Amino acid sequence: MLQQSSYRAFTLRDLPTIPQVAAMPPDLRLQLRAVASVLPFRVNRYVIDHLIDWSRVPEDPIYQLTFPQPGMLDAGDLATMTGLLHREASSREVEAAVRAIQHRLNPHPAGQVDLNVPIEDGREVRGVQHKYGQTVLFFPAQGQTCHAYCTYCFRWAQFVGLEDMKFAGKEAGELVAYLQRHPEVTSVLFTGGDPLVMRTALLRRYIEPILAARLPHLASIRIGTKALAYWPQRFTEGPDADDLLRLFEEVQDHGMHMALMAHSSHPRELQTEVARAALRRVRATGTVIRCQAPLIRRVNDDPAIWAELWREQVRQGAVPYYMFVERDTGPKEYFKVPLARAHAIFRGAYREVSGLGRSVRGPSMSATPGKLVVDGVLEVGGRPYFALKFLQARNPDWVGRIFLAEYSSTAAWLDELRPAHGASEFFFAAEMDEIRRRRVRQRQTLGPRSGASLRLVPAEPR
């Protein structure tokens, strides 16, 4: 089994030193550099040596999941970047082109900045997002990187060096105070990035104040992580791994549910010896592992892959949780799957698993109004329609409500759908517009020091 000391990250500057990349044709290496200059690239030795099947590159799904691909940029943008790199343009010229492209890629979809960051007493609550009443997301500053980056990542803007694109909070005290003011919150989700890149001692600085506050309304603490896939040694080796598992137990000793929200995109990620050992150790603490991932073209857009993935999760005691639709941000054109096909893939996989695998929900969109699932395709008067349902919503009265949209074989997101039967707008549209207007008025009251961004403190992945 690999040792902690063997962890090594490879970023843009290290791309030519990866032997498998160095063996590629020069024009392809140039294209990889061009894409990695715009979108975040980080991989590690474990992924390279144990997850990627290099005999299948470039079609290998884990390679597609972790290495930049030429098609991830618009053809014109790719030509611009390769041209600049080929003629060794100045860093200032390259940087200007990179920033222009990044800002065109919808860096914060679904109102993450404009609508999700709480505003109280004329200031934004830093490092917090609160879209749905029961759940608060917290972005610990030292956890805003990952052991490796997914090429599809909808939070890619966290990792590209733009301070105005980052969420991060340094103080647990502010989070606890916010939770004390909001008794409707029953769950806190630590997210990023990946909070488990932090040493456990740092993670404790955020979690222990919550435990000490003994908030009667708080029922669960969740940690969103890809570590089980990209660096499972985080849970298996050394005193810091043991301390992390003790922390999970302490959460439960305080009467709360501890959940690891594992990003699990392909069965191969769960099938190595060390990954299996990591899952066993986490489960032994009483922590529940819930698995989720987006449906990603070229990676897992096949019902057989999802059925195998869900069966593997059940076999190892994890809970299949969500199949997401790839968000409308970053390299979405390269990875997106139309909703009609997404539903067909979900249904095809769902019918191949037992009831234990049918805890999963999807295909789900985390859109601006809320989290919607494509619940089915039905015929009314001889015409097909999408049946959609809110699983979560900005207005809790929308939750569970089923509504229809015109069927489309090409639409891949909510804003590409039309209401059924010629209606001018969906039932929630007018209220959603009012929510936006209220938010604009709120933001006009912000003080000069307000903002959702803080300079990030680098963390050494563990």
Q: Provide block-wise average pLDDT over 10 residues at a time, the chain (462 residues).
A: 67 93 94 93 95 96 95 93 93 91 74 77 87 94 88 71 51 90 97 92 95 97 97 94 98 97 97 98 98 96 98 98 88 92 98 97 95 95 96 96 97 96 95 92 69 36 46
Cβ partners under 8 Å of residue 53, min gap 6: 60, 62, 63
- At 170 the pLDDT is 62
Report CA-CA distances (Å) from 186 to 174, 189, 250.
Answer: 17, 10, 18
What is the CATH code for 119-443? 3.20.20.70
Give the containing element (helix H, strand E) for 137.
Answer: strand 135-138
- At 329 the pLDDT is 78
Cβ partners under 8 Å of residue 410, min gap 6: 338, 416
β-pair type (220-225, 370-380): unpaired
Q: For the chain, where do the domains classified as CATH 3.20.20.70 start and end? A: 119-443
**Contact assessment for residue 70 and residue 39, using Cβ atoms and an 8 Å cutoff:** no
- At 368 the pLDDT is 93
Strand locations in 151-215 (E): 187-190
Read off the pTM: 0.90
Distance CA 325, CA 293 (A): 9
For residue range 191-236, what is the model confidence (pLDDT) as tens digits? 988 999 999 999 999 999 999 999 999 999 999 999 999 999 999 9
- At 360 the pLDDT is 97
Burial class (CB in 10 A: 0-12, 13-18, 19+), 438: exposed
Chain centre distance of CA 88? 34
Residue 76's CB is within 10 A of a number of other CB atoms, namely 9
- At 263 the pLDDT is 95
- At 259 the pLDDT is 98
Cβ partners under 8 Å of residue 230, min gap 6: 44, 46, 47, 146, 147, 148, 269
For residue 222 the two structure tokens come to 């969740």
For residue range 323-367, what is the model confidence (pLDDT) as tens digits? 999 887 778 889 999 999 999 999 999 999 999 999 999 999 999
Residue 406's CB is within 10 A of a number of other CB atoms, namely 16
